[in-house]
Chains A and B, each alone.
Chain A
Amino acid sequence: MLKAKIILVALGAALAVPQALAGSTPEEDRKETVEYFKQMFPEVPFEDFVNGQYALNEDRRSQWESMQDFPPYEFAVAEGQEMFETPFANGKTYASCFENGGIGIRQNYPYFDTEKNEVITLELAINRCREANGEEPLRWKKGAIASISAYMASTSQGNPINIKVPDDPDAMTAYQDGKEFYYSRRGQLNFSCASCHVQNPGKWIRADFLSPTVGQPANFPVHRSKWGELGTLHRRFAGCNNNVRAEPLPAQSEEYRNLEYFLTYMSNGLPVVGPATRP
């Protein structure tokens, strides 16, 4: 049995429900998840979870803090702003596609579109905006789309993540699919996302330090030293899948969007801190 469940039994949470009959709500899942990580890291202030490994490891934190004066993504954010503000050939801009002109809205993505019956991520919305205005879509994982997304995140810094699962069976299915993805073992090495980020956060896997589930998406897009540039969350998903020798799925595939939906919901209430840096 997983520690989570043992801890929760100790807390007297209602685990007596037979699993086949149970179907906890996203909010119940989130509360249990937050409680699990708070128990695991009682000394970490809740808001600090957005800083991933830096919240859990002093050495990593001081290395990170020394980078903050000249963050390596600054140029990309400026470039993203310029692209965001430059009109398309038809004279319109990205602002026309988004609520509040696209400023300070990162915390609402991804959301479930009950008309299209699908999860809309920020990057998907950016490319759909381009296509609606007669422009070619951008490539998904890095480059211009990461810069624009980074600029949009930077205008939202500090806003609490606010993902909603509307009362709609398709939205619930998307959330559940994302949850199942997160907990399903994949690849020849037989790891799920949870194998590392639920079962072993705060530990080292070779020279990499594992972050907890809660807070993970808050810092994207992220500048990784390993990449030497910004990348989107779906680039990271693909990298993780590849590490465990599972065939990565396409960026913005339904599976990855549903995964992002579940994962971001788990971070509700935590502040947007993207773009950020990671090793």
Chain B
Amino acid sequence: MNKPLLTIGISLALSAPVAAQAGPKEDFNDVYSKAQSTHEDAGTFQWTVTSDRLKAAKSAAENGDFDKARSMAQEALNLAKESVAQRQQQQEVWRNVAIGN
């Protein structure tokens, strides 16, 4: 994180009453869009569990429960990252068990 951002972050955190209203929703949006784009990066290696968490996050957000929405989006992001890692790894190692070269 760069310094100006950090400063903004700290001052937002300090001005608690304002941040408490704007924070969770923006926080959710940020994590959710990261999760979505990482899920896209998995290409044909997407996981169903990631899609499930994204759906759960979205519906929690629609109900105004941004804490739950954020935690679901975070789970989706973590899962999506592993699916991207799997995609990259398999491009190398699929031949290890293949019959014929």
Q: List residues of A whose CB falls within 8 A of some B CB.
A: 2, 4-5, 8, 15, 17, 19, 22-24, 28-29, 32-33, 36, 179-181, 183-188, 190, 192, 194-195, 198-199, 242, 245-247, 249, 255
- Whether B100 pairs with A24 at a CB distance below 8 angstroms is yes
Question: Which of A28, A192, A247, A255 gathers the greatest number of chain B CB atoms within 10 Å?
Answer: A247
Could you say which of B47, B50, B94, B99 contacts A184, with CB atoms under 8 Å apart? B94
> In the complex where A180-B94, A192-B94 touch, is A187 in contact with B47 (Cβ < 8 A)?
yes
Q: A188-B79, A190-B86 are in contact. Are A183 and B98 (CB under 8 A)?
A: yes
Excluding A24-B100, A33-B99, A198-B97, 8 further A-B contacts by CB distance (< 8 Å) are A4-B97, A4-B99, A29-B99, A29-B100, A36-B99, A192-B94, A242-B48, A247-B51
Q: Shortest beta-carbon distance, B69 to chain A, in Å?
A: 21
Task: Determine whether the beta carbon of B97 is less than 8 Å from that of A192.
Answer: yes
The CA of A19 and the CA of B94, in the complex, are separated in Å by: 12
Task: Give every chain B residue within 8 A of A33 (Cβ-Cβ).
Answer: 99-100
Asked if B3 CB lies within 8 Å of chain A CBs, one says no
A28 near B95 with CB under 8 A, answer no
User: In the bound complex, do residue A22 and residue B48 qualify as a contact, i.e. CB atoms below 8 Å apart?
Assistant: no
Residues of B within 8 A of A179 (CB): 98, 100
Q: How far is the CB of A7 from chain B (nearest CB, A)?
A: 10
> Could you tell me the distance between the alpha carbons of A184 and B86 in the complex, rounded to whole angstroms?
9
CB <8 Å contact, A28 and B100: yes
Whether B95 contacts A185 by the Cβ 8 Å rule is: no
Classify chain B: how many residues form its interface, as a range.
20 to 34
Nearest-Cβ distance from residue A44 to partner chain B, whole angstroms: 17
A24 touches which of B48, B83, B91, B101 (Cβ 8 Å): B101
Q: Which residues of B contact A4 (CB under 8 A)?
A: 97, 99
Q: Which residues of B contact A194 (CB under 8 A)?
A: 97-98
Please, which residues of chain B bring their CB within 8 A of the CB of A32?
99-100
Q: Does B49 interact with chain A (Cβ within 8 Å)?
A: yes
Contact check, A186 vs B100: say whether CB atoms are below 8 A apart.
Answer: no
Asked if A186 and B86 make an inter-chain contact with CB atoms under 8 angstroms apart, the answer reads yes
Question: Can you list 21 pairs linking A and B with CB atoms under 8 Å apart?
Answer: A2-B96, A2-B97, A4-B97, A5-B99, A17-B101, A28-B100, A29-B100, A32-B99, A32-B100, A33-B99, A180-B94, A183-B94, A185-B90, A186-B86, A187-B48, A188-B79, A190-B86, A242-B48, A247-B48, A247-B50, A247-B51
A245 near B49 with CB under 8 A, answer: yes
Q: Given the complex of chains A and B, what is the CA–CA distance between A23 and B98 in angstroms?
A: 12
